Structures are given as structure tokens and as C-alpha cells.
């Protein structure tokens, strides 16, 4: 669907088993040199990637349904990103914005002000990683409110640094053995329509969470409520309609900062520029990263100008935050999203995937739920006839897809969610072929209807 000016054929083509001999060789070097705490979903070592494919060192061409965890929304080595990055690298690679600034940083902040939800005056600060953006959003909210408590949700994922580990819900692998964690973090139940028994409307789920905040934290102590509008690592949990608006309304009344973590959902992924747009929710602060810069490390906090400016000069920063090469990549990515209508492309991906996966669900009792929006789609696996999570099956299906040359990821508090995050520029045909592979994996590995 795009004018991919790449020599990389957009096809699935396996020439060895997965992983092949050269990948296995690299893997044994890696095992000797790389700390084992860093994992890899699929140890095929990459040689090239573009559009919807990843080519490994053995010459296998795999279909990419992961986008490096929702990062290469505009496609890997997107031609415009490559051009702009090369041009920037040629001019200068780093000065440190806090020493001698440059236009690219300012231009990215201007784009963020235009694109993020709401038409109020906004300002931004740039960082290197999602976790760093989340940490800084909390710093800003605390400074602006003079309060300390931060409210987060069950199944939340916000990063692996000390503060963000405390904000993240899941113990294994993110927190286990890494405490003590930062104080003044309070966790309340998320709206999780598939698992809320009895099913709660968005308003009811919000009332459940808000009652706990009021009784256990106290509205006047809350600096910020931090939420992913669709949870990512937690299993692509889409809250019931009305949940986010109710939480954001409560924040407004309580004088608390409503922070939307759009690190995984942002930049067209869900079929809107930002997932909050779907219900017209306007956060006070938004954190972004991943999709913003087509694969280069960049992150941002964007928000109400008066909140952002509550911090004293020098209170925010970092050596590399808003690196000029990453800013050039972000500007090229944003231009691509706009010109190639990647919002529309993400919607089209959802329109292809959801009906096929729902049809698969009809004949597969171990599929408890198919959910998601745009190009952020998941399948939750359970033991047939129950809602008991089946992580083992999710792993088996993922491995079967990998063996057939389709990169899929798993997620979820219970590890039982298969998730799909294709690059938004993926060919329809390639996407259809990937879905054939997923269906075949279910046909072989999941129980047949009873």
C-alpha cells in the first residue's frame, strides 16, 4: 500500500529452519557475551528489515507482526527516515540541547503540541526512552500540584527503571528481586471487560477505582493518575467505554494531573493519532516514545503549558534527550504518517484482522476474547469453557508462528495473550498471509470445538 522504495521483497520466504545455522552461531556468541537477564522473543539475528518483513542472517524473510514492540509504525528503515537521518548525521550528531540547542528539537515539540489531544496551549520536553518520559511526567505532576501520590492500575506497564518498576504491576519478570520500590504509588483495579465479573460498564469500573482512591489515598493527596488508554504489556486491555472519560473528569475535579501513557498506543497505532482520541479524552500530560521516531530512541512528555512550566529551569533534561538524529527521524516519521494516512492504514489493518480472528474464535474454544483497535490487536487464550488463562497455549501458538516465519509477540499479566502490532505500512497480502499462518497454528495446536 505504500511506495516502499526498498529492494527488500515483501514476502515470507524460509530457506532454513528457524532459527537457522548462522543465527544459532550468533546466539552462542551472544550467550557468552550478553547478560542472560536480557531476553529475546525469537532469536533470529537480523540482517535487514523494511515494510512488513525482517530478513535474518540465514536469508529467511519473516513477516513482522511486532514492529519491534510498536516502534516501526512507518516501517523499518523507512526511506524518508533514512534520508533525514543521514542528512542530520552528516551535519552534526550531538551538541546536547541543554548546551547549544537546535531546530529539530523545537520542531518535534511543535508537532507534539499540534498532534496530541486537546487544543489548549501545550509544551513538551524530550527524553530517550519511554520509562524516562514516564518518570519525568511524574516529576512534573508532583512539582505542579505539590502532592506526592501517584495512582496506577492493575496490569499496568510503565517501564523498568526504579520509579517505573513501582508503577508497573507485574512482578515476574519486571520487579522480582529488584526492590525496594519507590513509595507513594497506589494501585487500583482497571476496567477489564473480559475479566470483570459481573461485567462492569465503564462508569461502574471507574466508580470502583475512584472509591478506592478516595478511601485509601484521599483525593487531595493525588498528584497524578497514570494510565495506558489501552494497556500494552498487560495484554491489550481495552477499558469499557466511559471508563477513561470518568477517570479524567475525576482528576479535573480533584486537582490531580491525568497522565495518559501513550507510549505503545500513540502515533496512529490504534487507528487514531492517539488512543485517547477515540473517546475525546484530553489528558493533562501525555507520554510518548516508540512510534514517534521510526526506530530511533526518542520519548516525550507533552502537556498543558502551565503544568510543564511549573518546573524550575534545569529541573528537566539529560545528555541525550531529544538527540538531533532522533528528532530528524521523528519529523520524518510524523510527515510519513500524515502523508500516507497511517491513521487510515491502522484502521484498515484492524478491519482485516478483527473479522478473521473473530471467525477463528467461533471455531476455537480456547480463544476467550479477540480485542483491540486499529493495528493493536490481541487474542486472549483460556482453557475451553472457562476464563482460566492458558499461557502454555499462547507460547505454543507463538512458537508455531515463529517456525513458519511470522513474528508474533505474547503479553498479559497471565502470559496468555497473543498480540499483533504490524507495521502500519504492511502490504495487505502479507498481512493476509500472516493471518493464514496464525490460523494454521491454531488448527494444529488448539483444541478443536467440543
Enumerate binding residues for ligand PLZ (CB under 6 A): 69, 129-131, 134, 157-160, 228, 232-233, 261, 263-264, 289
Instruction: List, in sequence order, the alpha helices (H) in 76-158.
Output: 79-91, 103-115, 130-145
Considering the complex, state which of residue 263 and residue 307 has its C-beta at the smaller distance from ligand PLZ.
263
**Residue 226: CB minimum distance to ligand PLZ, A:** 9
What are the cell numbers at 91? 551535519
Helix (H, G, I), strand (E, B) or coil at 122: strand
Which CB sits closer to ligand PLZ, 281 or 382? Answer: 281
Closest residue (Cβ) to ligand PLZ? 130
Residue placing its CB nearer to ligand PLZ in the complex, 8 or 296: 296
**Cα–Cα distance for residue pair 53/406, rounded to 1 Å:** 9
Q: How many residues does the chain have?
A: 450
Backbone angles phi, psi at 303, to 5 degrees: -175, -175
Residue 296's nearest CA partner among 134, 147, 5, 81 is 81
**CB-nearer residue toward ligand PLZ: 228 or 404:** 228
CB of 340 to ligand PLZ, least distance (A): 24
* Least Cβ distance, residue 116 to ligand PLZ (angstroms): 15
DSSP output for 325-375: HHHHHHHHHHHHHHHTTHHHHHHHHHHHHHHHHHHHHHT-TTEEEEEEETT
Q: Which run of H or of E encompasses 377? A: strand 376-381
Q: Cβ of residue 344: shortest distance to ligand PLZ, in angstroms?
A: 24
| Comparison of 210 and 289: residue with beta carbon closer to ligand PLZ | 289
Quick one: DSSP state of residue 387? -
Taking the complex as a whole, the smallest distance from the CB of residue 23 to ligand PLZ amounts, in Å, to 21
CB 350 within 8 A of CB 278: no
Number of other CB atoms surrounding residue 416 within 10 Å: 24
**DSSP letters spanning 211-240:** HHIIIII-GGGEEEEEE-SS-TTTT---PP
Give the shortest CB-287-to-ligand PLZ separation in angstroms: 7
By C-beta, is 128 or 340 nearer to ligand PLZ? 128
Nearer residue to ligand PLZ within complex by CB, 10 or 323: 323
Nearest-approach distance from CB 69 to ligand PLZ, in angstroms = 5
CB of 157 to ligand PLZ, least distance (A): 5
Between residues 158 and 195, which has the closer beta carbon with respect to ligand PLZ?
158
- Give the whole-angstrom CA distance, residue 198 versus residue 201: 10
Query: In this structure, what C-alpha cell is assigned to residue 450?
Result: 467440543
Gap between the Cα atoms of 244 and 260, Å rounded: 10
Amino acid at each position: 500500500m505504500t511506495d516502499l522504495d526498498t529492494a527488500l521483497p515483501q514476502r515470507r520466504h524460509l530457506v532454513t529452519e528457524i532459527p537457522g545455522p548462522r543465527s544459532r552461531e550468533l546466539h552462542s556468541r551472544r550467550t557468552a557475551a550478553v547478560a542472560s537477564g536480557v531476553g529475546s522473543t525469537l532469536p533470529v539475528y537480523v540482517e535487514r528489515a523494511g515494510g512488513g518483513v525482517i530478513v535474518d542472517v540465514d536469508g529467511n524473510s519473516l513477516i513482522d507482526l511486532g514492529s519491534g514492540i510498536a516502534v516501526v509504525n512507518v516501517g523499518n528503515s523507512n526511506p524518508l527516515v533514512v534520508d533525514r537521518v543521514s542528512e542530520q548525521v552528516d551535519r552534526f550528531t550531538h551538541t546536547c540541547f541543554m548546551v547549544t540547542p537546535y531546530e529539530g528539537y523545537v520542531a518535534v515539540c511543535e508537532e507534539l503540541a499540534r498532534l496530541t489531544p486537546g487544543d489548549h496551549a501545550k509544551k513538551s520536553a524530550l527524553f530517550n526512552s519511554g520509562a524516562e518520559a514516564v518518570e519525568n511526567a511524574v516529576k512534573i505532576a508532583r512539582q505542579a500540584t505539590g502532592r506526592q501520590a501517584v495512582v496506577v492500575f492493575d496490569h499496568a506497564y510503565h517501564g523498568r527503571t526504579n520509579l517505573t518498576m513501582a508503577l508497573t504491576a507485574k512482578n515476574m519478570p519486571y520487579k522480582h528481586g529488584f526492590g525496594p520500590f519507590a513509595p507513594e504509588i497506589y494501585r487500583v483495579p482497571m476496567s477489564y471487560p473480559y475479566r470483570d465479573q459481573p461485567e462492569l460498564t465503564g462508569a461502574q469500573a471507574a466508580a470502583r477505582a475512584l472509591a478506592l482512591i478516595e478511601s485509601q489515598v484521599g483525593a487531595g493527596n493525588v498528584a497524578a493518575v497514570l494510565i495506558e488508554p489501552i494497556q500494552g504489556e498487560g495484554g491489550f486491555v481495552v477499558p469499557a467505554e466511559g471508563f477513561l472519560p470518568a477517570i479524567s473528569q475525576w482528576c479535573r475535579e480533584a486537582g490531580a494531573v491525568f497522565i495518559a501513557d501513550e507510549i505503545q498506543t500513540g502515533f496512529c497505532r490504534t487507528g487514531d493519532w492517539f488512543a485517547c482520541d477515540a473517546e475525546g479524552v484530553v489528558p493533562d500530560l501525555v507520554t510518548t516514545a516508540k512510534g514517534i521516531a521510526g526506530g530511533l530512541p526518542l520519548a516525550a512528555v507533552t502537556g498543558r503549558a502551565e503544568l510543564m512550566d511549573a518546573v524550575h529551569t534545569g529541573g528537566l533534561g539529560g545528555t541525550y534527550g531529544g538527540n538531533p538524529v532522533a528528532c530528524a527521524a521523528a519529523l520524518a516519521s510524523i510527515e510519513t504518517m500524515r502523508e500516507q494516512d497511517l491513521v487510515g492504514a491502522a484502521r484498515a489493518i484492524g478491519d482485516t484482522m478483527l473479522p478473521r480472528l473473530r471467525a477463528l474464535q467461533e471455531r476455537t474454544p480456547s480463544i476467550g476474547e479477540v480485542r483491540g483497535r486499529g493495528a493493536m490487536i490481541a487474542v486472549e487464550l483460556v482453557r475451553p469453557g472457562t476464563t482460566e488463562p492458558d499461557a502454555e497455549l499462547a507460547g505454543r501458538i507463538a512458537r508455531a508462528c515463529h517456525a513458519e516465519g511470522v513474528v508474533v509477540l505474547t503479553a498479559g499479566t497471565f502470559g496468555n495473550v497473543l498480540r499483533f502490532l504490524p507495521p502500519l505500512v504492511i502490504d495487505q497480502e502479507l498481512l493476509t498471509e500472516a493471518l493464514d499462518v496464525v490460523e494454521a497454528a491454531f488448527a494444529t495446536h488448539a483444541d478443536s470445538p467440543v
